[in-house]
Structure 1
């Protein structure tokens, strides 16, 4: 099996060199960039499997770079690796990124999170599911389409993972803890608003009326359910 290819953007030479060395020792191919000015062209030309982004970069910041990259390549997993720990930074990052790791961090934790993202992104199923009367989900191609307009709906990697979680448990009530553990692969922290933010964004993209959701239902005190 060929090595997984990681595109890594970090302007700090000490951190960048250390991360590159740690990942290469574990069998990954790493292309390290000091800024993200040409990242879209590099990602597409290099056929990379995952992107790791710092936020505080010279020129365009990681938020801007990540949003542009996700729009151009919506199924490419993106991991933010940053010293910014504020909750509003995390929530802003998770609007498009699939994971958010803060510095300082242990190499083993970073590798574990990378493997989770690659494993999820590599999962394929040949099945198309219709939600309501207007949403078509192609699980094999990892695409979502509006059947009325025939236009593809761009979801972030994390939004797609949450939707897939619901579709693995159709018509079942899932608690926040269950969704979090299946999508993030770790124990849910009470009070973390990241999941509710992703659910809101999903509704804005999928529901005909996000204020009166029919596809992703909230059962107060219990959790969420998607009816198929």
Structure 2
């Protein structure tokens, strides 16, 4: 999924770009609206405080050019009038400072609302993943991978957090819904069975790696 991100703050811009790319998005980051091209993105994140053409004017221009692309505005302005003006033209409005998890979730929700995620098919090493049908195939064997309920939940939780180190506690509570107890082998067993289905060599996994003493990480 291609995200057009317009932000003149170098520190915030590099942070957001890196975090979104770690979640599997392709991000084009611009410091202003001067270098816009005609390529249609899947999502737009726009800062309001920009040099030259302000974010509100640029947002109107982007919405005219890409009416079917969701637009989220970021701003340090928290006044109600600014929020209302932003929401007049954008699909969403977030104030700075913000948590990356919230921004990523809002991107995901709007992409789903615009029926963009459902069209998304992507590769993860030797796996082909169809987000619409939730189908996983192995390109090396040309076969579909069938997962059990918990394996399925684990796999797609990992895909939503690509490249992130996830603790055992975080994974267990997200999938089973109650606190992890140290020494419980349930998660480890499910990870082992999941690896047997998705890894080329389960004894030397390259997709779901163990981060010793912490938890696991799914690699691209």
Deviation of the 1:38 alpha carbon:
3.5
| 1:79 corresponds to 2:72 | yes
Hey, what's the Cα distance between the residues in 2 that align with 1:14 and 1:36? 18
Secondary structure (helix, strand or coil) at the match of 2:88 reads coil
Q: How many residues are aligned here?
A: 117
> What TM-score do you get using the length of structure 2 for normalisation?
0.51
The correspondence for 1:9, drawn from 6, 9, 19, is 6
Deviation of the 1:37 alpha carbon:
2.0
Match of residue 115 from structure 2: 122
Larger radius of gyration: 2
> C-alpha offsets along residues 184-210 of structure 1, whole Å, 9 cap, x if unaligned?
xxxxxxxxxxxxxxxxxxxxxxxxxxx
Structure 1: stretches of 5+ with no match in the other structure: 125-228
> What TM-score do you get using the length of structure 1 for normalisation?
0.50
Match of residue 35 from structure 2: 38
Secondary structure (helix, strand or coil) at the match of 2:89 reads coil
Secondary structure (helix, strand or coil) at the match of 1:90 reads helix
Structure 2: stretches of 5+ with no match in the other structure: 118-220
Hey, what's the Cα distance between the residues in 1 that align with 2:94 and 2:88? 14
Hey, what's the Cα distance between the residues in 2 that align with 1:60 and 1:12? 15
Hey, what's the Cα distance between the residues in 2 that align with 1:96 and 1:120? 17
The correspondence for 1:48, drawn from 41, 47, 63, is 41
| 1:99 corresponds to 2:75 | no
Deviation of the 1:63 alpha carbon:
0.2
Match of residue 25 from structure 2: 28
Hey, what's the Cα distance between the residues in 2 that align with 1:37 and 1:48? 16
Q: 2:44–2:70: 8 Å Cα contact kept in structure 1? A: yes
Match of residue 180 from structure 1: none
> C-alpha offsets along residues 158-185 of structure 1, whole Å, 9 cap, x if unaligned?
xxxxxxxxxxxxxxxxxxxxxxxxxxxx
Deviation of the 1:120 alpha carbon:
0.5
User: Structure 1 stretches (4+) deviating beyond 3 angstroms?
Assistant: none
> C-alpha offsets along residues 11-51 of structure 1, whole Å, 9 cap, x if unaligned?
00000000000000000000000001233xx2x32x31000
> C-alpha offsets along residues 54-104 of structure 1, whole Å, 9 cap, x if unaligned?
000000011000001111221111000111111000000111100001111
Deviation of the 1:123 alpha carbon:
6.7
